Structure 1
Amino acid sequence: MNSALVSVITPIFNSRKFLKETFRSLKEQTIGFANIEWIAADDYSNDGSYEYLIQISKRHKNIKVLRTQQNSGGASTPRNLALNQVTAPFVMFLDSDDTFEPDAIRLLLDIMTQTNVGLANGAFCYSNRQKKVAEQRYTGRKEGYYQIFDDIDSWFPISHPIFTKMFRTKVIKKKSLSFNPSLRIGEDSLFLFQYMQYIERAYHINKIICSYRYRSNSTSHSINREYFNDLFYAISEINNSLHDSHAYVFYDKFVEVTAYSNMVLLCNTPDITIDEGNEIIEQWFPILRYTYKHGYQAKDPISAILLEAVKKNNLASTKFYFREIKKLVNQNNDKLNEIYSSRTWKLLATIRRLLSL
């Protein structure tokens, strides 16, 4: 009989160099590793990840190693494979290159077992090789109970991501929730919104749960035309999936934040040309108009300028503003590139490295 209190699901693809550290963070949990069911779902890696998992699973009976029949190209398929094997009453998600803080599982489990909330949430920090903690997220939010749909404005900013949360297994299984394998971006947002349709309250603590490894060359940080196409498709799928009136409240907020933040990203992405940007704006324009009607307030200068164009309900004006902003951004990038390629900048490289230690 399985005695695990929490199942931790980790989708894996070619993450061999990170797995030892990820595994160590689970072994060092203050709740005790024996109380954890680690379900590691390999997406047909070819770098030795699967073999490493098999090796350590022979020494630990609470490690389940699964493997897809072929590489799926995303996290949804391996996560779904793992969800079918969950036996513990609570579920958490941990990416293969991230780590949990030692008290992470215990802190969230205490909330879930001592209250009747449907979701426990914490904070996270970014990390890289140079600095363990580059930035903390959500540590300054109101700590305590959140009525999901009554406190939408305060809860939404901390509703992401999934790796800071503990879910109730019975809700996932009863409602047959899973990750959409057709989505490359936003599949975790869709899963969250669907889950939150079936719970009333959540609890947030200002404690670091997960250390998120930032890799600038990872696919999740590759911003190009394909990224914007995938994101638009994700929003469309989320719209089609969330039919419940409560869930639409989250959809409204999701579109507000996503649409305008990515418009700013569009202006600042060197790989996107002005012509490509205008095509993307034309695709996104109905969503931009929608968010204005729902009272979105732009907080940064670029968003404010674009919002003024959207207010005029004029696609041509919006494209014009984008073109002018893009020109200014490109000019600034050219100046920065001149500085970075200069002899003085290269000579000062050693000093900068010493100062960053």
Structure 2
Amino acid sequence: MSAVSVIVPVYKVEKYLPECLESIMCQTFSDIEIICVNDASPDNSHLVLEEYSKRDSRIRIFTHPQNGGLGAARNTGLKESNSPYIAFVDSDDTVEPTFIETLINLMVQNDADLSWCGNCSIDEHSNFLEAYPIPDKKWTVEQILNTEQLYPSILPVWNKMFKRELIKDIKQLPIVSEDQPALAEYFTKCERIITSSKCLYNYRKNSNTLSRPVEPKPTVWNDFFYSHQLFFEILKVKYPLKKQLKKQAILRCFSILWRIQAFDMLKLKNWNEHRQNILKHLKEDKIGLKFYSPLMYRYLQISFALKSKTKLQKHLIHAALVLSKSRWVKNDSFLKLPFDMLRIFYPNIKHYFKKVLDSIEIISVRIIARIHTIIFPRPIWLVGERPDTAQDNGIYFFNYLKSKKINSYYIYDKKRAKGQKGLNENKVIQYNSFYHKILFYRAKYYITSHNNFCVPQSNFGKRRYSFSAYTKNVFLQHGITYSDNSDDYGKAKSKIDLFICGAKPEYEFVKERFGYNPDQVKLTGFARFDGLHNVNTKQQILLMPTWRKSIWKSRVANNHDFFLNSKYYKVFQSLINNATLEQLLIQHNYKLVFYPHYEIQPYLNYFTTESKSIIIASKEEYNVQVLLKESALLITDSSSVNFDFAYMYKPIIYYFFDRDDFVKNHLKPGYFDHKKDGFGEVVETETDLINQIQNALLSNCSMPQKYKERVSEFFPLYDTNNCERICQEIIKFTK
């Protein structure tokens, strides 16, 4: 018996079924059975199923003699399942490699009755459209129903895992939106629910499959509204329902109403009659109307602007449509919804005006970029990193491209940056300038160490430009990925085409966990590693702790008191004023440079010291790469600069003064444990840190042999050909 049954209803999905099955077969959790129910599909889906069942013995096929609908197919799958846990995957969708593993671990470790994850929408070509994350949290059913953020993901069954003992007797009705009453019944049976913020299910926005029928039959729409009604009727027996949840259902119903083509079929010749009929029933002294869009898509669509500037109160506006006899709509074509109120909202005209201006700007830029391509057809490589710095993988790779006479440009914000030199040449483009925007749509390659940091924004609504289908997005990375940040940089959420890795364990981790195809992840070494050979070291210690999300949030909220009361500030303010440390530095003739992370730099003025041996360094005056090269010893907590330092075979001390809180609130654990896999000693107190500094100074700051061996295993590529490898992989990727 398998641990999980994955039920896949199949109907008219010949085109998408292989991708769906591949994504399930490649799950990191392999103890599954894949139950495919062919719901009398008229295409060649049955041949695809037969082919894949020969390749994987976990696939079981069941066939309906007649089409019964999505609910019937799921019921059959549930009946034939043998596993204690159940998951549903629609046959035109895909799942990320850790979909099953994540959900079953949540179920087992938390003794949960239901687990579910975030999801993404994809188009017919599997291109990412939008992500719908949810919180990492444990819930009761009542908490779920009262949390508005979860409403869009409550209703489908496909991003969830169920207990078979609770769901086995629940039958899905043979109607459209059959998920909803079934889920409502399941909610009445379960107690503990847990959710994951990871977006692991990819929902395809395609309208011609079993799960998304398009036939404009009245019964289809009746089913949709009826399933909503059942959802509430089942739940209200046990749980009080919030008005916000009802409002969400109203919005879903009205979104469907706009798609009903057979609802009244008004003809253009009758429109003026109906328009006048509506106007005469509305008092013009109360509300003024002007119609802009009389008829679209063969059904009625009404748009109007308010003449009065008075903000609307909550009112229900009634308007009667009296149709001509030839177009009379029968009463049974209308549906009575069990909801109490339709709310009208007064639009922000200024916001819409900005959107119009943004659209004009972006369209204009696209046109000019197209003309530029015709006149100057040579491919463009557009490179960047943080717009106000030029000291990361981006600038190193740009310099390499220049040396090879490759047509490249570097994006840089000269207005924000200070202290940067040598960046005034014509190939350096001002961030968010008009030329930057043209190059963004013109570039064949968009290459950056900070994903999306150099994407231009519109001038009016600050709308971020979207990538063109022509451009390949290459991610050089800012630092070695060692924690699980797939929520930010995984395929489900990012628009990265090629992911560059600097170390072997990192490469294996990203390839396994981040959801990319094998050819999208490459081990080349980092571009800046080319400059980490034959370095000259000073008698200097670099103290470089990373940031904290809680401090960053307080800075965004302009809450500096939070920082001054934080453990982070108190720990490092104490350290740079430690008398023993001062004596050690003087005794060994060393300097200590305190350079906090980029996100902590705005608080730098709060740190003070009387020591002449300690320098508090700002990002405007000091270059990180120069500091790393010239320093003999690094003290950090979990900053990724430790990997650069280790690459040079120089000693490191890890100072984890808030280890538990850091792991809990700042990052998700990955493959790298600093105690087991790190390149130096781990300490948690200031006293132990001072002792380790003393030991390092006594050994003339040399890296112990056991850590050198770890470095060699971690970085199998140790040469000055990193930029060359990156360039070759980019070219190879687009061939």
TM-score normalised to structure 1 length: 0.71
Deviations 1:232-277, CA, capped at 9 Å, x for gaps: 232344456x176225638x76543222443355358734337699
For residue 45 of structure 2, the aligned residue among 37, 46, 49 is: 49
The answer as to whether partners of 1:6 and 1:37 remain within 8 angstroms in 2 is: yes
- The structural deviation recorded for 1:99 is 0.6
What is the aligned partner in structure 1 of residue 116 from structure 2?
121
For residues 228 and 10 of structure 2, the distance between their equivalents in structure 1, rounded to whole angstroms, comes to: 25
- The structural deviation recorded for 1:58 is 3.2
AA at the equivalent of 1:45: S
What is the aligned partner in structure 1 of residue 508 from structure 2?
none
Correspondence 1:201-220 to 2 at 5 A: 201-216=192-207, 220=212
The answer as to whether partners of 1:124 and 1:209 remain within 8 angstroms in 2 is: yes
What is the aligned partner in structure 2 of residue 12 from structure 1?
10
Structure having the higher helix fraction is 1
Where do 5+ consecutive residues of structure 1 fail to align? 303-343
Correspondence 1:318-329 to 2 at 5 A: none
What is the aligned partner in structure 1 of residue 145 from structure 2?
152
Correspondence 1:13-162 to 2 at 5 A: 13-32=11-30, 35-72=31-68, 74-129=69-124, 132-137=127-132, 139=133, 141-154=134-147, 156-157=150-151, 158-162=153-157
Q: Is 2:250 aligned against 1:249?
A: no
For residues 370 and 207 of structure 2, the distance between their equivalents in structure 1, rounded to whole angstroms, comes to: 23
Deviations 1:131-159, CA, capped at 9 Å, x for gaps: 6211001x1x3321011114422175242
Secondary structure of the equivalent of 2:338? helix
- The structural deviation recorded for 1:111 is 0.6
Deviations 1:169-222, CA, capped at 9 Å, x for gaps: 11112xx112111x12x2101111111100112111110121111125557274
What is the aligned partner in structure 1 of residue 716 from structure 2?
none
Secondary structure of the equivalent of 1:194? helix
AA at the equivalent of 1:212: Y
For residues 12 and 268 of structure 1, the distance between their equivalents in structure 2, rounded to whole angstroms, comes to: 25
> Structure 1 stretch 226-235 or stretch 199-208: which is displaced more?
226-235
For residues 254 and 225 of structure 2, the distance between their equivalents in structure 1, rounded to whole angstroms, comes to: 12
The answer as to whether partners of 1:149 and 1:200 remain within 8 angstroms in 2 is: no
Question: Which structure has more RCO (C-alpha within 8 Å, separation ≥ 6)?
Answer: 1
- The structural deviation recorded for 1:36 is 1.0
AA at the equivalent of 2:184: F
Percent identity over the alignment? 23
Deviations 1:283-329, CA, capped at 9 Å, x for gaps: 445524x3x3xxx8x58558xxxxxxxxxxxxxxxxxxxxxxxxxxx
What is the aligned partner in structure 2 of residue 329 from structure 1?
none
The answer as to whether partners of 2:222 and 2:335 remain within 8 angstroms in 1 is: no
AA at the equivalent of 1:232: F
For residue 228 of structure 1, the aligned residue among 221, 231, 234 is: 221
Q: Report how many residues are paired.
A: 297
Residues 131 and 52 (structure 1 numbering): CA distance in 2 closer, same or farther, change over 3 Å? closer
Correspondence 1:312-351 to 2 at 5 A: 351=370
For residues 123 and 243 of structure 1, the distance between their equivalents in structure 2, rounded to whole angstroms, comes to: 23
Q: Is 2:338 aligned against 1:272?
A: no
Secondary structure of the equivalent of 1:162? coil
Aligned-pair RMSD on alpha carbons? 3.7
Structure showing greater radius of gyration is 2
- The structural deviation recorded for 1:225 is 6.7
- The structural deviation recorded for 1:161 is 2.0
For residues 99 and 113 of structure 1, the distance between their equivalents in structure 2, rounded to whole angstroms, comes to: 24
Q: Is 2:314 aligned against 1:287?
A: no
Residues 93 and 223 (structure 1 numbering): CA distance in 2 closer, same or farther, change over 3 Å? same
Q: Is 2:178 aligned against 1:187?
A: yes
The answer as to whether partners of 2:118 and 2:200 remain within 8 angstroms in 1 is: yes
